[in-house]
């Protein structure tokens, strides 16, 4: 966790941002689990640790972390997951396990560009992309009834 936070601090500094104590705490809570975490779960966790946090504070921190590429929003779950490659701005694609709730970020080479190019061919401008595939991870496949 300390290495990841040091990387996050460096990424923010390089992009002209600052990883404040509150933003750092929110980032730690997102990174604690492989499963995406919701804003209100983050809020509850902050309050358990004695932080006087309110929903706007959490959402502002999450907006900053997304702008910096440190977390991605999982649209279908209205939740957030840490980014394993924050140094490079990219469009994330996710595999979401319906068994355990884990989310794994993958990068399918050129997929975001191909979607934008195809959209442009038909006169559509893509403002944002969310690619999420649902299924079962290897562990859940092994424990699922036949």
Q: Does the pTM of the predicted model rise above 0.85? A: yes
Contact 1, 28 (CB under 8 A): yes
pLDDT band at 114 (very low <50, low <70, confident <90, very high): very high
List pLDDT tens digits, range 64-95.
999 999 999 999 999 999 998 899 888 889 99
List, for residues 1-54, the tens digit of each pLDDT value: 788 888 999 999 999 999 999 999 999 999 998 799 999 999 999 998 877 788
Task: Say if residues 132 and 76 touch (Cβ distance below 8 Å).
Answer: yes
pLDDT computed for residue 115 by the predictor: 94
All domains of the chain, ordered by start, with CATH? 2-82 (1.10.10.10), 93-143 (3.30.1490.190)
H or E element that contains 28 = helix 21-31
- Give the model's pLDDT for residue 96: 96
* DSSP-derived secondary structure for 67-119: HTTSEEEEGGGTEEEE-S-TTS----EEEEETTT--EEEE--TTHHHHHHHHH
Average pLDDT over residues 113-138: 94
Mean pLDDT of 112-137: 94
């Amino acid at each position: 966790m300390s290495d990841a936070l040091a990387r996050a601090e460096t990424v923010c500094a390089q992009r002209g941002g600052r990883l404040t104590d509150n933003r750092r705490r929110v980032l730690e809570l997102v990174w604690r689990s492989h499963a995406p975490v919701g804003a209100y779960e983050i809020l509850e966790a902050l309050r358990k640790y004695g932080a006087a946090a309110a929903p706007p504070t959490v959402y502002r921190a999450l907006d900053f972390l997304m702008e910096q590429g440190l977390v991605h929003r999982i649209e279908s779950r209205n939740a957030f997951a840490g980014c394993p490659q924050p140094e490079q701005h990219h469009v994330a694609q996710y595999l979401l396990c319906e068994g355990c709730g884990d989310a794994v970020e993958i990068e399918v080479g050129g997929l975001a560009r191909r979607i934008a190019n195809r959209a442009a061919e038909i006169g559509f401008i893509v403002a944002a992309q969310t690619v999420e595939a649902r299924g079962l991870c290897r562990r859940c496949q092994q424990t699922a009834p036949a």
